[in-house]
């Protein structure tokens, strides 16, 4: 019985480690993609001017609806092509 439990726990640990690796790789991809898009829009930004991961996390806690952003920029939103 104890052997089965230990085997199950080892298997679950292996699954979680695999998932953790996948999530870390995904995070690195998102960071690289975000940097590429930012550089494309604004040009390279000096490292000291970049927000930290903690600052990004804080910003993501209070999302702003896309409609509000477009409205503030004076761009029609949600109409689609005519």
Question: Domain range holding 45?
Answer: 2-73
Cα 72 to its chain centre, rounded Å, is 24
For the cut 60, the answer to whether the pLDDT of residue 44 exceeds it is yes
Is residue 6 included in any domain, yes or no?
yes
Is residue 56 included in any domain, yes or no?
yes
For the cut 70, the answer to whether the pLDDT of residue 12 exceeds it is yes
Tally the domains of the chain. 1
Q: Mean pLDDT throughout 21-40? A: 90
Is residue 78 included in any domain, yes or no?
no
Is residue 79 included in any domain, yes or no?
no
What pLDDT is recorded for position 4? 93
Asked if residues 51 and 59 have their Cβ atoms less than 8 Å apart, the reply is yes
What pLDDT is recorded for position 79? 58
What pLDDT is recorded for position 71? 85
């Amino acid at each position: 019985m104890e052997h089965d439990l230990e085997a199950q726990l080892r298997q679950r640990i292996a699954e979680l480690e695999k998932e953790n690796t996948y999530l870390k790789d995904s995070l690195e991809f998102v960071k690289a993609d975000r940097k590429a898009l930012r550089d494309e829009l604004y040009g390279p930004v000096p490292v000291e001017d970049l927000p930290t991961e903690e600052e990004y996390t804080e910003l993501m806690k209070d999302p702003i609806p896309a409609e509000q952003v477009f409205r503030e920029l004076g761009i029609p939103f949600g109409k689609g092509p005519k």
